[in-house]
Chain A
């Protein structure tokens, strides 16, 4: 059973860069798509972007200028960096993996709350 676990700071100051890592266990990270999705408290889901294990990426156009994703197959990890954060970036951040199809998310991490505040 594939499991995903997010890690990173729970508090980030405004204008700084949010950095999160997702560790995949129970299976290889190779040859699949991996995404980041966020959810502000009491609101819906917002896709941030995805990365394939080759390193190719797709980003949400509304966040593209601030997002960078990377993958480390040797550590079975992939990462998210979101720059110039504001309070509007406060949310639960999920990592997710696409296995049955590249168009849906089969496995999700438990989510990690990131608060942007000084």
Chain B
């Protein structure tokens, strides 16, 4: 079965750029999307179709997807961005989620 791999944790200082990766076989041939989940809350879509931002998501969130890796980039990271982030893709008519990355803003 298809797997997406994320680092368990990423740390970033306020105002700096955070990058969270998601790896999977030929992931660049599929659409990747990203969700942010804060404790006790439902996930929120922050990037879809590799690099598109839903309305209401700040411009500091951006995404890319090429080769075997999709990347979520948060520029000028703020304390409010501290959360778990999940990547997601489709393979063989099945949704696959990455294991999630805990972003800590130190």
Number of A residues with CB within 8 Å of any CB on chain B = 22
B: which residues have CB within 8 A of A? 1, 31, 33, 35, 42-45, 48-49, 52, 54, 86, 88-90, 93-100
Instruction: Give the docked Cα–Cα distance between A94 and B73 (Å).
Output: 26
Contact partner of B100 among A44, A103, A105, CB < 8 A? A44
Q: How far is the CA of A105 from the CA of B44 in the complex (A)?
A: 9
Q: A61-B94, A105-B45, A109-B42 are in contact. List 20 more A-B contacts (CB 8 A).
A: A35-B95, A45-B35, A45-B97, A47-B94, A58-B93, A61-B1, A62-B1, A100-B48, A100-B52, A100-B54, A101-B31, A101-B48, A103-B48, A103-B90, A104-B33, A104-B49, A105-B35, A108-B42, A110-B42, A111-B42
Q: List A contacts of B94 (CB < 8 A).
A: 47, 58, 60-61
A72 at the interface (CB under 8 A from B): no
- The one of A60, A94, A103, A109 that contacts B33, using a Cβ cutoff of 8 Å: A103
Given A35-B95, A46-B97, is A104 in contact with B42 using a C-beta cutoff of 8 Å?
no
Question: Would you give the shortest CB distance from B35 to chain A, in whole angstroms?
Answer: 8
CB pair A104–B88 under 8 Å, yes or no, is yes
Q: Does A106 contact B (CB under 8 A)?
A: yes
